[in-house]
Amino acid sequence: MLNEGYCGYVAIIGRPNVGKSTLLNHLLGQKLSITSRKPQTTRHRLLGIKTVGNTQTIYVDTPGLHQRKSNAINRYLNRAATNSMDGVDVIVWLVEALVWTEEDSLVLSALLQATVPVILAVNKVDKVHDKNNLLPYLRKLASKRDFAEIFCISALKGQNLLEMEAKITKLLPIGIAIFPEDQITDRSERFLAAEIIREKLMRRLAAELPYQLTVQIEHFSSDKNLTHIHALIWVERQSQKAIVIGQKGKVLKFVGEDARKDIEMMLGCKVFLQLWVKVKQGWCDDERCLRQLGYSE
């Protein structure tokens, strides 16, 4: 266990698809949180633990706060995002450069209750061709509430992240590390394997089936240098099952091969991965079903 230094929780919040998971991965220096071009890729609260010297920063990646509350899973995502701000020491609020939406206003409303320092991170500045347009946008943001500091960053390219990390460290409380220095997350390999499979599905089926599927690990075991994983892909309708499998099983085969490579890289051993697709009608709007599938706080 490390000697006393600095240790604290830092919530990364923002609307969907603003780059929270990309930011977490870049801060950690490795891929932990899954990403895709589709909003609401992140569905669970995920801790990313970074220990440097006597400083341990525990980042909390959260689902994006959004306006859709039509079914149980959307309500769960909003609860998970809002609750992730409780008990943290610092909040990093991610917005997109030159873009403001009603969902950003929703996040701002939630931040009004925050009593801890809030850092505003204006992301995707690498996409802004005329940097002169940034100044009035930053002034407008600065008027919305008091911020510990404002940073213009690119989560994808790592721009200004070192400066932001230095500020975060200054805001952390004095304390002893909570996790071992070689631990990078609170989630199990079983959970991370399911997330990798879901990422490959979302990237492959972004146009046809972005949200009505989830992944459940049915079996996970290791035997010498081989890990056996059996995963169930749940969809809501029979027609969706056909889409996931694809013609002559091509989609499922592609997803399985792609996921297996990433899981092998994560585990450092060979993986035997089997995927099945099953139908569970209405799982997105069934609170009990969501808990059974791992959507619990």
CA separation for the pair 40, 72 (Å, rounded):
14
> Is 155 found in the same domain as 98?
yes
Q: Are residues 169 and 194 in the same domain?
A: no
Pairing of strands 226-235, 270-279: parallel
pLDDT tens, residue order, the chain (297 aa): 456 799 999 999 999 889 999 999 999 999 998 887 777 777 888 899 999 999 999 999 988 887 666 688 888 888 888 888 889 999 999 999 999 999 999 999 999 889 999 999 999 999 999 989 999 999 999 999 999 999 999 999 999 999 999 999 999 999 999 999 999 999 999 999 999 999 999 888 876 665 678 999 999 999 888 999 999 999 999 999 999 999 999 999 999 999 999 999 999 999 999 999 999 998 988 889 888 888 876
Is 182 domain-assigned?
Answer: no
The residue among 145, 175, 205 that closes a domain is 175
Structure tokens that stand for 40 in this block: 């609401």
Q: Are residues 121 and 200 in the same domain?
A: no
> Are residues 168 and 194 located together in one domain of the fold?
no
Q: Which domain holds residue 114?
A: 5-175
CATH number of the domain encompassing residue 128 = 3.40.50.300
Tokens describing residue 267? 């585990």
In a domain, 180, yes or no: no
Q: Are 131 and 75 part of one and the same domain? A: yes
Q: Which two tokens stand for residue 273?
A: 């991965």
> Do residue 130 and residue 168 come from a single domain?
yes
Note whether residue 48 is domain-resident. yes
Same domain, 79 and 162: yes
Residue 39 lies in a domain: yes
120 assigned to some structural domain: yes
Two structure tokens written together for 230:
């059996």
Q: Which two tokens stand for residue 156?
A: 């994808």
Residue whose structure tokens are 């694809």: 246
Residue from 33, 11, 35 nearest 83 by CA: 11
Q: Is residue 194 part of a domain?
A: yes
Report yes or no on 115 lying in a domain: yes
Across 152-182, b (16+ Cβ under 10 Å) vs e yields bbbbbeebbbeebbeebbebbeeeebbbeee
**Residue 238 domain-assigned?**
yes
Number of structural domains the chain divides into? 2
pTM: 0.91
Domain with residue 201: its CATH number is 3.30.300.20
Whether residues 34 and 153 fall in one domain: yes
Task: Tell me if residue 89 falls in helix, strand or coil.
Answer: coil
Q: Specify whether 146 is located in the same domain as 19.
A: yes
Q: Are residues 170 and 26 in the same domain?
A: yes
State whether residue 172 is helix, strand or coil.
coil
Of 142, 175, 208, the residue that ends a domain is 175
CB 183 within 8 A of CB 49: yes
Instruction: Tell me, yes or no, whether 165 and 218 share the same domain.
Output: no
Domain match, 13 and 152 both: yes
